[in-house]
Amino acid sequence: MVLLVDDQAIVAEAVRRALASERDIDFHYCAHPDQAVRMAEQVRPTVILQDLVMPGTDGLTLVRAYRANDATRDVPIIVLSTKEEPSIKSAAFASGANDYLVKLPDSMELIARVRYHSRSYVNMIQRDEAYRALRRSQQELLKVNLELRRLTQSDGLTGLSNRRYFDEFLGAEWRRAQRENTEVSLLMIDVDYFKPYNDTYGHVAGDNVLRSVATTIRREVNQPRDLVARFGGEEFAVVLPGAGSALARLLAEKMRRDVAGLELPHMGSAVSEHLTISVGVATLTPTETLAETALIEAADAALYRAKREGRNRVSYSTAVTGRD
């Protein structure tokens, strides 16, 4: 699609005739320079033929106006002039013109120039659109992949991290702590008498209780590097990279009190009329000969001791505290 901007009707007719044999080239004409940019916005040409000398303005002013307009800034512009002076050509190209023709060129040259620039412009538009479509596809794929990753890392019932991600996370943090010679603490949490709870109130109520416990313990974890996960069944785990035993014990006790503070009725409990949790705490500094499973075993042993000693309590690993 060609837009000719020229105040001389005889030139417009000559150009129209030159392009008339080309059925796939639509011809539009504008004789008034003050209407040129607006008409270009409406017509959306693939090539603009711009006369260099027009009444009230010069063609280069219009060339700069096209380039300043979002709708026409990339449209190829062929400047038409009666002169073939290097300085005028240089000024035209400096203003943003793509080509320069001395009018009136013969039909073959005009058609060849129009087709070349039009094809280049259409190819650019198609390439840019394809790139934008590719970017949109990539962004959508990224969103899908992130959601899939979230789903594969999350526990469907509680929304916490699942056991698979817990294992990956603990392994990575264990290796980091070994490099930095820092501590890693682990809390193992068990809902007391959960099977009797299910037997008494039903599995739907049991699921709701697990969600409530998950929300409560997650609320106490504020550091971005910490992780709360559902370890399995009614068990939860909290990984505290860089946290010492004192902080881990304090956090465990706060979680125990918070869950008790929910005052969820539990007729099947032997330790309280409300739902409670037991917590095992372990803190270790990784070494080359000590695997992360040692931390899990230490926290699990502490949890077992808390349950053995009556539940609804926090117990600390003897590997850290030295207690019996």
Q: Average the pLDDT over 185-198 and give the result.
A: 97
* Sole residue written with tokens 């010492």: 244
In order of 175, 213, 249, the CA distances from 276 in angstroms are: 34, 9, 17
Q: Is the dihedral of CA 74, 80, 86, 92 positive or negative?
A: negative
Are residues 181 and 110 part of one domain?
no
Query: pLDDT of 250-309, one tens digit each?
Result: 999 999 999 999 999 999 999 999 999 999 999 999 998 999 999 999 999 999 999 999
Instruction: At 134, list the tokens.
Output: 């590719």
Domain boundary among 127, 154, 181: 127
| Of 240, 318, 253, 243, the residue nearest 279 (C-alpha) | 253
* Domain range for 198: 163-316
Same domain? For 6 and 106 the reply is: yes
**CB–CB of 244/283 below 8 Å?**
yes
The share of the chain scoring above pLDDT 70, in percent, equals 98
273: buried, middle or exposed (CB in 10 Å: 19+, 13-18, 0-12)?
Answer: exposed
Mean of the pLDDT values across residues 175-200? 96
- pLDDT band for position 216 (50/70/90)? very high
Find the angle CA(61)-CA(47)-CA(86) to the nearest 5 degrees.
Answer: 55
Neighbour-count burial for 172-198, b at 16+ CB within 10 Å, e otherwise: ebbeebbeeeebbbbbbbbbbbbeebb
Beta bridge partners of 190: 235, 278
- Are 174 and 311 members of one domain? yes
Enumerate the active-site residues: 234
Do residues 305 and 174 share a domain? yes
Q: Is 67 exposed, middle or buried (0-12, 13-18, 19+ CB in 10 A)?
A: middle
DSSP bridge partners of 299:
none
Domain membership of residue 143 (yes or no) is no
Do 43 and 172 lie in one domain? The reply is: no
312 lies in the same domain as 169: yes
CATH of the domain at 291: 3.30.70.270
Question: Do residue 118 and residue 171 come from a single domain?
Answer: no
- Same domain? For 94 and 202 the reply is no
Return the CATH number at 108: 3.40.50.2300
Question: Which percentage of the chain shows pLDDT scores above 90?
Answer: 78
Return the amino acid letter for 162: N
Mean residue pLDDT across the chain: 92
In tens, the pLDDT along 7-53 reads: 999 899 999 998 988 888 999 999 999 899 999 999 999 999 999 98
Give domain status of residue 140, yes or no. no
pLDDT tens readout for residues 234-253: 999 999 999 999 999 999 99
pLDDT of 318 above 80 = no
* 40-67 pLDDT tens trace: 999 999 999 999 988 888 899 999 999 9
Q: What total of structural domains would you count in the chain?
A: 2
202 vs 321: which has the higher pLDDT: 202
pTM recorded for the entire structure: 0.60
Band of residue 146 on the pLDDT scale cut at 50, 70, 90 = confident
119 and 175, same domain (yes or no)? no
Does residue 142 fall inside a structural domain? no
Q: Which of the listed residues 99, 127, 155 is the one where a domain comes to its end? A: 127
Residue 309 and residue 180 share a domain: yes
Q: What integer pLDDT is reported at residue 21 of this predicted model?
A: 86
Say if residue 103 is in the same domain as residue 210.
Answer: no
- For residue 200, is pLDDT > 50? yes
What does residue 234 show for φ and ψ, rounded to 5 degrees?
-100, 15
Residue 273's pLDDT is what?
95
79 & 190 share domain: no
